[in-house]
Structure 1
Amino acid sequence: MPSQAVRVVSTRTVKPPPPAASRERIPLTTWDVSMLSVDYIQKGLLFPSPPSPTAHLLDHLAAALAHTLHAYYPVAGRFVTDTHPHGCSVSIDCGGQGVQIVHAVADALSIADLIPPNADVPPLLHSFFPLQDAVNYDGHHLPLFVVQLTDLTDGVFVGFAYNHALSDGTAFWDFINAWAEIVRAAPAGPLTSRPPLLKRWSPQGDGAPVVLPYADLSEVIERLKPPPLRERMLHFSSESLVALKERARQELLAAGDTAGAAALTRFQALSSLMWRCITRARRLPPEQETVCRLAINNRGRLQPALPKEYFGNTIYAIGTEAVRASELLERGHGWAAAAVGRAVAAHTDANIRARVEAWMAKPMIYTLRFFDSSSVMMGSSPRFDMYGCDLGWGKAVAARSGRANKCDGKTSLYPGREGGGSMDAEVVLSPENMAALEQDHEFWAAVTPDS
């Protein structure tokens, strides 16, 4: 169905209360500015119809969002670039320029159209997200956060577009859930959760701007369009993940790797399954090397640790040791799961600081060009409290994403709606690779069928 099925009804700007202090600038760190050529985060939640029409709820949602921006005031700002003798730096101008709430209507679509059972995620879902073609650098003139509420015949889809140079997924979901908390409280209810820590981390602790060696930063920003892709959202129940982990554990014990077996997690078991089965679906040459990459949170790994409420980016993509495609398939599920575990264990405070130092010596802006088409990438996190976002209408039916930041081999992990350690995996592949994965018996033996 064409995107014209979604019709915008209204757009409003929401600003935080006037600040008591003077206008503030927050310099972006190494982790932030490296994201400037990446797409906005696009995540969304599908709800049953709220008790009142969405148009009647917008005033309350906007008032609650303004209260949230009192604590999360950088979200309402814009980026600004300053020139230096040997380059430029980017900061958040916390001038209260505002975020946006978009109200749209898709009166010919239902919940079943957006989450069809045993089928690809429909491309029409992309039209439920604002800022379709924006990259984070555009935060110089675009809002850093836009939310689109789209009415369906039997529900409402709430699509978020959020600037990834502003913060990572941990801070993003903290912000979204803080808003939901205030929505559920009295109209002027305070933020009862722990407030965000807005001071940015730097190795020296001085918070100084990161100077990039570019006279004109816009010249290094790329806007890449991915090739045609297929996308499926697959469910893994807690029982399935336990069985997957136990299979890997038994293989490691049989190989004499008791340490690897003892350290196994469900995340390792699922990541290694994705790595091996996608590699097999791609039919890579036997000698082709492949790596499993993982988005990892640095907060608890730094010494001293950063608190969970740190507001900013503090993530890296780490990788397993490279292995030939033929060897990855021959060595089995247990070896691959242990390889993921070794990569996670090696990501220590010393490793993080060494990577920051190396980046400072040779800064780079990440784009999809950095993705290795023979490897896989595990993104997002099943630890994000997506289903805790209750806007007063109850628990979401499903969590989904837009078309941003997707490429062949990207898998994003979500918490399962029923909880209990279950997970959903958003798998993105080229059409031919997805067709091959759909014939992989090892893979589908672990997938929990749609109920």
Structure 2
Amino acid sequence: MESASLKMISDCFIKPKFVSEEAKKPTYMAPWDLQMLNLTYIQKGLLYSLPQEKKKDFSTTNFVHRLKDSFSDTLTHFHPLAGRLATVKETNPPSVVIFINPDNSPGARFIHASVNLKIDDLLTPTDVPLIVESFFDHHKTVGHDGHQKSLVSIQVTELVDGIFVGCSMSHTVADGTSFWHFFNSLSQVFLSKPIAPPVLKRWVPEGIDPIITLPFTHEDEYVNRPNPPLVRQRIFHLNPNAMAKLKAKVNSECNTTRISTLQTLLAVIWRCVIRARRFPAEKETSCRLPVNVRSRLSPPLPEHYFGNAIQTIGIKATVGELLDHSIGWAAMQLHELVVNYGDKQIREYVDSWVKKPIVHKMDVIYDGVGVSMSSSPKSDMYGVEFGLGKGVAVLCGNAMKFDAKVSLNAGRPRDGEGLMDVDLSLLPETMARFETDQEFMRLVQL
């Protein structure tokens, strides 16, 4: 498989089928968007099986043509994605305004490629093969690059017995919730079904100018390109019975019923990663996770608010505290962190950011000390079908590969409802120890 390489078939740009007067106006971004300028693009996609009997009646040429047409239709509703970022420099005081400019953009990108591999070549190896990185556009691209590169790209990659449809989207213009809303909408349009239109008006606190200026004179002051170490990436399929038993045990131990499956799982992963790193007991470590703030604001944002509406929250503990206590202790800390994060905390964060804007740096987030979670298994990932039936796997691109990056995806449909897959990246020596930790591995469906 190492010799397998991608063959490019076609590459073009797609514009919205219809351009409204509203779509001709610039889109100014919220604080949550602007702080993401250094983050790599979101890269997720689905692998579909095309067995021999199905392949006889399937035309890739027709599929690609129809998908391009559906892409154009979908961009009519999600028109900011067809633009490019633009920067206007102010002199008094020295600052910049970064926004989405619909003018002079060739549109969103569409790539058609093929690779001489089978589905089993991708799913059988223990680690996610490196070739998967080439199934996505925007390799190692950060949000700021949206000045020159498309804000969203769709790539169709033909396999011997299947098809992979990958979507790459700038994290500066959308979070995971909006990413999956777009991807599902594209699938619905492809199937000639109605979609839930996105709400494109960006949120800023009352009394704040919606055109936010950043206190920089040059991009070098805030653009920071990550150079992460080489990691191993593995997908673990969770055993629902084992997970349910552990969740019940943790809740019983903490005398509650409210600790969620996700909080329980994250507590286990945090403990096992830190144990595998062999840090000394006095070293401080952290666990971070994103919180969708749409429903937590008062009044709440619309369900289909398009953009970033997440804030990252976290807890810290010394290695000794984390490992000397039970899983329940860590799960309870995470639970209290999440349930107590509401309108007051959200507004305090945004207000402080507006007074002193910062742009996140990836090498600060992934510091080799903490564990960071992204993505939500609640997203309707396997609802993206394109008439091909349910996908057989959700796969991520290079954007998800940092040491101790945990991406939680919806479980494979064939394994039953309500499951989660853990897509985990770790340094090779850390992964080797993590794989032997029974506290985590007893939760895995082998």
Same fold (TM over 0.5): yes
Aligned to 1:196: 198
Structure 1: how far apart are the matches of 2:285 and 2:222? 28
1:139 to 146, 150, 166: 146
Label 1:201 to 1:334 Cα distance change in 2 as closer, same or farther (>3 A). Answer: same
Q: Structure 1 stretch 78-87 or stretch 160-169: which is displaced more?
A: 78-87
CA contact 2:374–2:405 (8 Å) conserved in 1: yes
- Please state if 1:232 is matched with 2:241: no
2:176 to 151, 169, 173: 169
**Aligned-partner SS, 2:26:** strand
Aligned to 2:406: 411
User: Which residues of 2 match residues 229-378 of structure 1 at below 5 A?
Assistant: 229-252=231-254, 258=255, 261-320=256-315, 322-371=316-365, 372-378=367-373
Aligned AA (1:43):
K
Aligned to 2:185: 178
Q: Structure 1 stretch 331-340 or stretch 241-250: which is displaced more?
A: 241-250
Aligned AA (1:342):
E
CA contact 1:38–1:405 (8 Å) conserved in 2: no
1:402 to 397, 403, 407: 397
Aligned AA (2:424):
V
Aligned to 1:35: 36
1:33, CA displacement in angstroms? 0.9
Aligned AA (1:434):
M
Structure 2: how far apart are the matches of 1:27 and 1:439? 48
Aligned to 2:108: 99
1:238, CA displacement in angstroms? 2.5
Aligned to 2:421: 424
CA shift digits 1:138-190 (9 cap, x unpaired): 111111111111111100111211111111010110011111001011xxxxx
Aligned AA (2:234):
R
2:438 to 431, 438, 441: 441
CA contact 1:147–1:159 (8 Å) conserved in 2: yes
Aligned AA (1:307):
P
1:279, CA displacement in angstroms? 1.0
CA contact 1:27–1:207 (8 Å) conserved in 2: no
1:265, CA displacement in angstroms? 0.8
1:134, CA displacement in angstroms? 1.4
**Aligned-partner SS, 2:228:** coil
CA contact 1:387–1:395 (8 Å) conserved in 2: yes
Long gaps (5+) in structure 2: none
CA contact 1:269–1:337 (8 Å) conserved in 2: yes
CA contact 1:36–1:365 (8 Å) conserved in 2: yes
Structure 1: how far apart are the matches of 2:347 and 2:329? 29
Long gaps (5+) in structure 1: 186-190, 253-257
CA contact 2:84–2:147 (8 Å) conserved in 1: yes
- Please state if 1:393 is matched with 2:395: no
CA contact 2:35–2:360 (8 Å) conserved in 1: yes
1:3, CA displacement in angstroms? 7.4
Structure 2: how far apart are the matches of 1:378 and 1:67? 33
Aligned residues: 434
**Aligned-partner SS, 1:83:** strand
Structure 2: how far apart are the matches of 1:405 and 1:165? 15
Structure 1: how far apart are the matches of 2:72 and 2:284? 50
CA shift digits 1:358-386 (9 cap, x unpaired): 21222111122222322111110001111
Structure 1: how far apart are the matches of 2:69 and 2:212? 35
Aligned to 2:74: 68
1:55 to 52, 61, 70: 61
Structure 2: how far apart are the matches of 1:394 and 1:337? 36
CA shift digits 1:104-144 (9 cap, x unpaired): 0102x110111115x11111211111121311111111111
Aligned AA (1:436):
R
Label 1:344 to 1:46 Cα distance change in 2 as closer, same or farther (>3 A). Answer: same
Q: Structure 1 stretch 92-101 or stretch 162-171: which is displaced more?
A: 92-101
Aligned AA (1:17):
K
1:204, CA displacement in angstroms? 1.7
Structure 1: how far apart are the matches of 2:227 and 2:168? 18
Aligned AA (1:229):
V
Aligned to 1:12: 12
Q: Structure 1 stretch 379-388 or stretch 354-363: which is displaced more?
A: 354-363
Structure 1: how far apart are the matches of 2:200 and 2:174? 10
Aligned AA (1:215):
T
CA contact 2:108–2:150 (8 Å) conserved in 1: yes
CA contact 1:3–1:127 (8 Å) conserved in 2: no
Aligned to 2:216: 214
Label 1:102 to 1:167 Cα distance change in 2 as closer, same or farther (>3 A). Answer: same
Q: CA RMSD in A?
A: 1.6
CA shift digits 1:172-223 (9 cap, x unpaired): 10011111001011xxxxx622210000000126661111001122542121
1:112 to 95, 120, 134: 120
CA contact 2:200–2:305 (8 Å) conserved in 1: yes
Structure 2: how far apart are the matches of 1:8 and 1:443? 40
CA shift digits 1:421-445 (9 cap, x unpaired): 2100001110111011111111111
CA contact 1:47–1:393 (8 Å) conserved in 2: yes
Label 1:273 to 1:373 Cα distance change in 2 as closer, same or farther (>3 A). Answer: same
